[in-house]
Amino acid sequence: MPVDVVSAHNLTFGYETKPVLANISFSIAGGDYVGLVGPNGSGKSTLVRLILGLETPAAGQVSLFGAPSGTFRDWHRVGYLPQKNAALARFFPATVREVVAMGLVAKRVGGDGGHGGRGRSHARKAVQRAMELVDIASIGDKLIGALSGGQQQRVLLARALVKEPELLILDEPTIAIDPEIRERFLDVLSGLNREGGTTVLLVTHDTGSIGKYAKKLLYLEREVIFYGGFDEFCLSEEMTKLFGVFAQHLICHRHE
């Protein structure tokens, strides 16, 4: 029986007296493309941090490829694009190529038919492939601080993709990006999911686009309000009644 790529069981988390997530349970199978949505403060980024083992749950468990995230070691299987930090790159003296290569730090890097080849030549080729995928190969030797916000986001995406992960987790990847670039960005993700079988978990406020790309929706507001296919969501009158405009927005764009 295939193991779920991500699974959470009765996951609970809070900061001191402030509860953030309560009894979250869901699972993401290989090849799924899940849009994680919810209002501000609903716990989306916190859930991502719990999945990645960056926080420890107060109760319950979350697993990656069947292993508890706190003890997970196969990081070459997971690509992560964190929420953009405006101050992150401004003065850092690294080129685009050097930043993308940081994605290969994971102990074991697959590639070339899964034989896990290492060595500088393999690493250079992997970096070049990742840069070409997100259309930044021409600026490989520029310093990251000299790039625009959109270009920096593409560099960070290439960093997440360079190890050809089986699971890609992206936290608000399209913030402060031009609409044209946003569409190309989401097309790349869609291609990776459709053709490469990469599992995608995308946290977003961009309800206009998510309906066109994701197969499933995970709606979070401290607890799981809804998890399932978009068609189920559309048919759920209670969801529409409860969440009115927000839900309608998702539904409208899905059917464009």
Partner 1 sequence: MDILDFLQYSFILRALVAGSFIALLCASLGVILVLKRLSLIGDGLAHVTFGSVALGLALRVQPIYVSMPVVALSALAILKLAEKARVYSDAAIGIVSAFGISGGVVLASIAGGFNVDLLSYLFGNILSITTGEVAVSALLSLVVLAVIALRYSALLSLAFDEEFARTSGVRASRINALIAVLTAVTVVLAMKLVGIMLTSALLIIPALCAFQAARSFKGTLVFAAATAVASVWAGIFLSFVLNLPTGATIVLLNFAFFLVLYGIKAAPAFLSRLR
- Chain residues that interact with partner 1, rule: CB under 8 A: 52-54, 73, 75-76, 78, 80, 82, 85, 88-89, 91-95, 98-99, 101-107, 141, 143, 159
Nearest approach in angstroms of CB 95 to partner 1 is 5
Q: How far is the CB of 159 from partner 1 (least distance, A)?
A: 7
Alpha-helical (H) ranges within the chain are: 44-51, 96-101, 120-133, 149-161, 179-196, 207-213, 230-235, 237-254
CB closer to partner 1 out of 78 and 186: 78
Instruction: Sort 215 into a burial class: Cβ within 10 Å, 0-12 / 13-18 / 19+.
Output: middle
Measure Cα distances from 9 to 119, 133, 146, 163, 223 in Å.
39, 35, 43, 28, 12
CB of 29 to partner 1, least distance (A): 21
Gap between the Cα atoms of 186 and 198, Å rounded: 13
SS (H, E, C) 221-235: ECEEEEEEEHHHHHH
In the complex, the smallest distance separating the C-beta of residue 103 from partner 1, rounded to whole angstroms, is 7
Q: Which is nearer to partner 1, 76 or 182 (CB)?
A: 76
Strand partners, 139: none
Q: What is the 3-state secondary structure (H, E, C) of 182-215?
A: HHHHHHHHHHHHHHHCCEEEEECCCHHHHHHHCC
Question: Minimum CB separation from partner 1 for residue 114, in Å?
Answer: 19
Query: Which of residues 57 and 103 has its CB atom nearest to partner 1 in the complex?
Result: 103
Please name which of 3, 75, 47 lies closest in space to residue 201, comparing C-alpha atoms. 47
Q: Which residue, 152 or 207, is less far from partner 1 as judged by CB?
A: 152
Q: Which is nearer to partner 1, 94 or 225 (CB)?
A: 94
Distance CA 161, CA 57 (A): 27
Of the pair 8, 101, the CB lying nearest partner 1 is at 101
Min dist. Cβ of residue 93 to partner 1 (A): 3
Structure tokens at 101: 């290569």
Which CB sits closer to partner 1, 3 or 146?
A: 146
The one-character DSSP state at 3 is P
Q: How far is the CB of 234 from partner 1 (least distance, A)?
A: 34
